[in-house]
Amino acid sequence: MNKGNHKNVSTIDEYEIRLTGLYEEYYDKIARYVYVHIGDREEAEDIAGEVFLKALKSLKSYREQGVPMQGWLFRIAHNLTVDYLRKMDKRRSAPIDSVVLLGNDDPVDTAEKNIEFERVTEAMKQLTTEQREVITLRFFGGFTSKEVGGILGKGDGAVREMQRAAIEKLRGTMGVQK
Amino acid sequence: MMAEDFDRILDECIDRINSGDSLADCLSDYPAYSEKLKPLLQSMSDVQKTYTFTPSADTKRAARQKFHAALGKRQQMTPVLSFFKVIPRSAVWATVAVLVLAVVGTLVIQSVLNAPELVPSPDGNFAFLISDEPSDINDFENFDVTILRVELQAAGSKERLEFVPEVETVDLTRLQGDEFQEIWRGHVPAGQYSHIHIYIGEVKGKLGLTGQTIYVKVPGDVVHMPIPFEITVDMVTIYTFDITVVEAGNSGTYILKLRLNESGAWQEQKLL
């Protein structure tokens, strides 16, 4: 039994309440964050649900230490996303390349959306892994640069610099493709 | 213009747009920077539009129900703590004394017999997976293997660290081929490790054809994996324990077989 990991019941209760309170807002955000990485909406939604179950199970290991609980949820989401991509990789499929958006809308509109999706996805793939994390956490997680810094273990100045470089690269790639 | 100033202004505009402000409002507040800001914020908007979607209400509802069910299950365990409230105070102290002695005794015995226990954590630097190969496992409807604990042995030392899997029982019929199940993830001290010792509990499977339950005995109830591996602070070490079930001839006796070639460790970048 690990003594350093003990938390009293009231702390765990409080964490449970906080986690429950985050569900409605962060389920959607996490689903979008995962979607950016794996390109499959249904799977992204399943993983978002799994994040909360995993968080509940691991509440004892949650430590505040400057990272808010919502940041911790995104860490879990990141790990589950990596697991998912690893599985997909073992199955020799490239999820982000093979995605085609399905829709019941006008076929021209759907085709245009697919082209746009490919354009943006291709640009996202040109980013470094860290730049992609900064962009997804800022654009879809709704975190401030300081909070992203806390999650990634970087200073907020470094995050701002990485963010600008990432958007410039996105702009360059998307501009060239247009 | 200092790069840092521009980074700060861009950052502020992103925050404002995330909070519902318009791109035009932000540009009008910084006319000197608007020419450079506009294409970047437009790119941000393109990326957000591309990936923003509203999750299906049905899927979200189902996930919420699952979450609340898991929460309810946890909370059902709490009443045990109120046990002491309903018995006399003297009995409480007597019980506490007995329990303290029992716990102290257990800890002393454990410290002699057991390795230090590691703490699970979703952002840990070590993950332990179970996998399986399609084989005679197809004879079974389900095949459950229970892992009691896992010990990591440091290279050139007899010192061991142990963890108890978060997922104790895995059904091998669900882990065929490229499938795997992560049973533990947590922080492990960086260093070279020479062995993993896996302590196996009950191993049983239900034959699909007859419905008969078969119990499999693992010699010594422990599997020693002599594959060296390294654990570092900045990478996640993923260790796979790949096992399969084979029938010994056509005897109807099944044995658990370790697949050494498919087992072992690799590392992945730890981002967060």
Q: What is the pLDDT of residues B226-253, one digit of tens each?
A: 778 889 888 888 888 877 777 766 666 7
Q: Do the chains contact at A160 and B7, CB–CB below 8 Å?
A: yes
Tokens matching residue B257 = 């077989």
Could you tell me if A134 and A148 are in contact, meaning their C-beta atoms sit under 8 angstroms apart? yes
Looking at residues B34-57, what average pLDDT do you find?
A: 92
Q: Do the chains contact at A48 and B18, CB–CB below 8 Å?
A: no
Of A59-73, A134-148, B35-49, minimum mean pLDDT range: A59-73
Contacting B residues, span 66-105, partner chain A, CB-CB under 8 Å = 66-67, 70-71, 74-75, 78, 81
The pLDDT of residue A33 is: 94
- Residues of A in Cβ contact (< 8 Å) with B83: none
Looking at residues A98-107, what average pLDDT do you find?
A: 47
Q: What is the spatial distance between Cα B16 and Cα B37, in angstroms, rounded to a whole number?
A: 13
Q: Which residue of B has its CA nearest to A152?
A: B272
Tokens matching residue B259 = 């697949």
Q: Do the chains contact at A23 and B64, CB–CB below 8 Å?
A: yes
The pLDDT of residue B133 is: 61
Q: Give yes or no for residue B95 having a pLDDT over 60.
A: no
- Mean residue pLDDT of chain B comes to 77
Q: Give yes or no for residue B3 having a pLDDT over 80.
A: no
Q: Which residue of A has its CA nearest to B39?
A: A171
Q: Do the chains contact at B50 and A20, CB–CB below 8 Å?
A: no
Q: Which residue of B has its CA nearest to A118?
A: B50
Is B230 an interface residue toward A (CB < 8 Å)? no
A130-175 per-position pLDDT tens digit: 999 999 999 999 899 999 998 888 999 999 999 999 999 999 998 7
A151 compared with B110, residue with greater pLDDT: A151
Of B115, B125, B201, the C-alpha closest to B163 is: B115
**Burial status of residue B113 (CB atoms within 10 A of its CB: 0-12, 13-18, 19 or more):** exposed
Q: What is the spatial distance between Cα B271 and Cα A115, in angstroms, rounded to a whole number?
A: 30
Q: Do the chains contact at A2 and B55, CB–CB below 8 Å?
A: no
Q: Give yes or no for residue B138 having a pLDDT over 80.
A: no
Of B227, B221, B264, the C-alpha closest to B242 is: B264
Tokens matching residue B94 = 């007597």
